[in-house]
Amino acid sequence: MSKKILIIDDDPDILDLLSLILVKGGYEVRTLSCGETVFDDIKDFQPDLVLMDVMLAGMDGRAICKSIKENHLTYFLPVILISGTHDLAKSLDLPGGPNDFVAKPFDIVYLLERIAMQLAA
């Protein structure tokens, strides 16, 4: 059974690119263009990992990540944040912080390695 990844990004081109790459990599993917329904989508899709942009239209991916990590039903879910404007390496060890961070523009091989590492943990 393939691992499931929930991708959240407000850029449709990034969603398409990530979806294509991950589906070719053998993952089952669901995409969201905003984080407003993230908990409903997590409950419905039951992803093994969330891959999310920091800057979403009207929302902050860091706040969504913190909500996921502080919720007793989703705290265990690995979250990888991606950003072209924020360096989140220092936030990895903070409460409510992501499990990993990938800077944009990202190297596809590196991104796939980070995803595989989180799924293996």
Q: What is the pLDDT of residues 24-45, one digit of tens each?
A: 999 999 999 988 899 999 999 9
Question: What band does 86 get if pLDDT is binned at 50, 70 and 90?
Answer: low
If you count them, how many residues does the chain have?
121
Q: Which amino acid is at 102?
A: V
**Domain containing residue 97: CATH number:** 3.40.50.2300
What's the structural domain count of the chain?
A: 1
pTM of the model: 0.91
- Give the helix, strand, coil percentages of the chain, each rounded to 5: 40, 25, 35
Is a pLDDT exceeding 70 seen at residue 75? Answer: yes
Range of the domain at 60: 4-120
Q: Which residues contact 121 (CB under 8 A, 6 or more apart)?
A: 78, 99
Question: What band does 94 get if pLDDT is binned at 50, 70 and 90?
Answer: low
Per-residue pLDDT of 95-121, as tens digits, reads: 678 999 888 888 999 999 999 999 998
Q: Which amino acid is at 81?
A: L
pLDDT > 90: percent of the chain: 68
Lowest pLDDT segment from 17-21, 43-47, 51-55: 51-55
